[in-house]
Amino acid sequence: MPKTRPPALPPLSESPAFQALQSHAAELGQVSLRTLFAEDPKRFEQHSLRLGDLLVDTSKHLVTARTLELLAELARERGLESLRDAMFAGERINLTEDRAVGHFALRHPGPGPVVVDGRDVHGDVRQVLEQFLAFAEDVRAGRRRGHGGQTFTDVVNIGIGGSDLGPAMAVMALAPYTVGAPKVHFVSNVDGSHLWETLRGLDPVRTLFLVASKTFTTQETLANARSARAWLVAALGEGAVGDHFAALSTNERAVVAFGIRADNMFAFWDWVGGRYSLWSSIGLSIAIAVGAQNFRALLAGAHSMDRHFAETPLERNLPARLALLGFWYIHFHGAESAAILPYDQNLSRFAAHFQQVDMESNGKGVQRDGRPVNGPTGPILWGEPGTNGQHAFYQLLHQGTRMVPCEFLAAVEPSHPLGEHHPLLLSNFLAQTQALAFGKTEAEARRELDDAGLRGAALEALVPHKVFPGNRPSTSLFYRRLDPHTLGQLIALFEHKVFCQGALWNVNSFDQWGVELGKALANRILPVLRGEGDLGGLDASTRGLVEHFRSLSTAGG
């Protein structure tokens, strides 16, 4: 299977569609959302998209129908559609690692063929899926037991990055579907506190460990896995390891060398990128938490978004719409960051997961053909669930000096109906999008203060503080309820959004060379911390820090 050749794209500034967008942006100028809504009574209908029960309202954006046309033109000019088609054809679009990008194949229900890298992978994918779902069901039903014959009450997933964030996010998102299942914990950080605090209170007899590592060489994961193994062996003896450890990996040799039985290992493939791997056996923790049927529904939801992405014209295409709007603010409004704000407590880790997916995929300064990019690329992505964020950082969103485009997520039906809680939550979600978009003018602020009885200098002194500039764009994603199918749709939607933006900037969204240098340097510093190495090779700052460590540390001193 040949690699997809990197296109020789001109710099954005020389692209005709980009230039047309520049003129258009100048014409639009400082147009306000108040004006855009006043001029077009059908704006909501025209600017919102749907897929099943999922409504995506993009009307509160500083764009017109013409802006969207020009953005779609730009996407075509940058080859977004052909790159998308190449991904779905299983081509090696991850050029620097010479790999196909096949996470879509993991959620394809069949019938096959589903071709990745020139091979029909459908049979292999289904076989491993059935194996790990059967394992999950056995654990849940108590058919698979620990060394002493007891059922598992706790499952600890040990992994980091893509082998942690996606599954941890999904297990939390689907918490209402986990009733009666073993409790699933996630340990990722090499900071011993993470494992220690997790294991404190767990019973080794009833604890199952899943070591999730595509490469099975990751320093943090192996350190945690070794310590977990020692904890288990101290309580139950060496013979217990086989019954209490499973591995999710592509590296069978290393798994077996660690002492995990080959029949407790669930494989996947090098064409599954770490941050796109929750659909593979890396999702075993999710399957144990929610059961096989719900895991299948998660896959089905994602597949429905794959089909939408693959088949819908760019003008009505959800991932493309989100990507193009994000691009518009980065290039034409100087936006440097973007926020994901779920009004859905169970999506508390959604922003953290997409922080990795987005920033590791598109935080690049070099194009696919090796030339530097000559403009901004991926945004700084962040977010916390509402309404907590309102009492923390929304001040900056409303009245600060930066534009932060926001993506709100909310469910029509609550996961837990509890008195008035859900209407309260939703009224806050809707109010925030309104306040961001339409703000409060000086005249309105003055009138309000006047109504409150303030007059003269006291009133004038407060007016500027009470003004909300508005024109702060947001997308609202409003779905029926956060069930597995919907979660699958949402995750795939944001994955493909990142893909589209990568295509616009012509960066390889599927490698992550930027994480390598720190790893290599840590390996060089480790012996120095142990007191084995020579300080001479270190820069003055790092040397000073190491000396401070040595002077205070009981181990080093």
Residue nearer to ligand G6Q on the CB measure, 98 or 238: 98
Taking CB under 6 A as the criterion, the residue among 67, 163, 367, 415 binding ligand G6Q is 163
Closest among 108, 106, 488 to 268, alpha carbons compared: 106
Q: How far is the CB of 362 from ligand G6Q (least distance, A)?
A: 12
Q: How far is CA 67 from CA 39, 96, 316, 324, 379, in A?
A: 16, 34, 14, 10, 20
Other Cβ atoms closer than 10 A to 259? 14
Helices (H), ranges, 78-218:
80-88, 103-106, 122-141, 165-173, 192-199
Cβ–Cβ < 8 Å for 381, 355: yes
Stretch that binds ligand G6Q, among 192-200, 209-217, 308-316, 454-462 (CB under 6 A): 209-217
Q: How far is the CB of 214 from ligand G6Q (least distance, A)?
A: 4
What are the DSSP E strand ranges found in 286-392?
337-343, 380-382
Dig out the tokens for 277 from the structure: 């791997």
CA distance 20 to 80: 18
> Binding to ligand G6Q by residue 218, rule CB under 6 A?
yes
> Binding to ligand G6Q by residue 4, rule CB under 6 A?
no
> Binding to ligand G6Q by residue 155, rule CB under 6 A?
no
DSSP β-ladder status, 115-116 and 54-57: unpaired
> Binding to ligand G6Q by residue 214, rule CB under 6 A?
yes
> Binding to ligand G6Q by residue 90, rule CB under 6 A?
no
> Binding to ligand G6Q by residue 188, rule CB under 6 A?
no
Owner of token pair 């959620």: 107
The catalytic position among 311, 391, 420, 532 is: 391
Cβ–Cβ < 8 Å for 60, 476: yes
Residue nearer to ligand G6Q on the CB measure, 479 or 499: 499
CA distance 557 to 364: 41
Q: How far is the CB of 353 from ligand G6Q (least distance, A)?
A: 11
Q: How far is the CB of 274 from ligand G6Q (least distance, A)?
A: 2
Other Cβ atoms closer than 10 A to 542? 14
Stretch that binds ligand G6Q, among 262-270, 271-279, 301-309, 534-542 (CB under 6 A): 271-279
Binders of ligand G6Q among residues 475 to 514 (CB under 6 A) are 512
**If binding means CB under 6 A, how many residues of this protein chain bind ligand G6Q?**
14
519 assigned to active site: yes
Q: How far is CA 266 from CA 15, 99, 124, 244, 269, in A?
A: 46, 21, 12, 15, 11
Identity at 198, one-letter amino acid code:
T
Q: How far is the CB of 225 from ligand G6Q (least distance, A)?
A: 10
The catalytic position among 416, 421, 519, 548 is: 519
Q: What is residue 180's three-state secondary structure? A: coil
Taking CB under 6 A as the criterion, the residue among 15, 96, 151, 215 binding ligand G6Q is 215
Stretch that binds ligand G6Q, among 273-281, 298-306, 313-321, 371-379 (CB under 6 A): 273-281
Closest among 507, 494, 377, 372 to 93, alpha carbons compared: 507
> Binding to ligand G6Q by residue 166, rule CB under 6 A?
no
Q: How far is the CB of 316 from ligand G6Q (least distance, A)?
A: 30
Binders of ligand G6Q among residues 20 to 79 (CB under 6 A) are none
Residue nearer to ligand G6Q on the CB measure, 275 or 321: 275
Residues facing residue 154 across a β-bridge:
183, 207
Other Cβ atoms closer than 10 A to 323? 26
The catalytic position among 60, 122, 308, 360 is: 360
> Binding to ligand G6Q by residue 414, rule CB under 6 A?
no
42 assigned to active site: no
440 assigned to active site: no
Task: Write the interaction track for ligand G6Q spanning residues 341-370; mark x where CB under 6 A is met and - where it is not.
Answer: -------------------x----------
Burial of 97 (0-12, 13-18, 19+ CB in 10 A): middle
Taking CB under 6 A as the criterion, the residue among 102, 273, 326, 378 binding ligand G6Q is 273
CA distance 91 to 368: 15
- Which residue has its beta carbon closest to ligand G6Q? 161
Taking CB under 6 A as the criterion, the residue among 146, 274, 414, 484 binding ligand G6Q is 274
> Binding to ligand G6Q by residue 275, rule CB under 6 A?
yes
Identity at 250, one-letter amino acid code:
T
Q: Measure the CA dihedral 143/146/151/153, to 10°.
A: -130
Q: What residues act catalytically? A: 360, 391, 519
Task: Give residues in contact with ligand G6Q (CB under 6 A).
Answer: 160-163, 213-215, 218, 221, 273-275, 360, 512
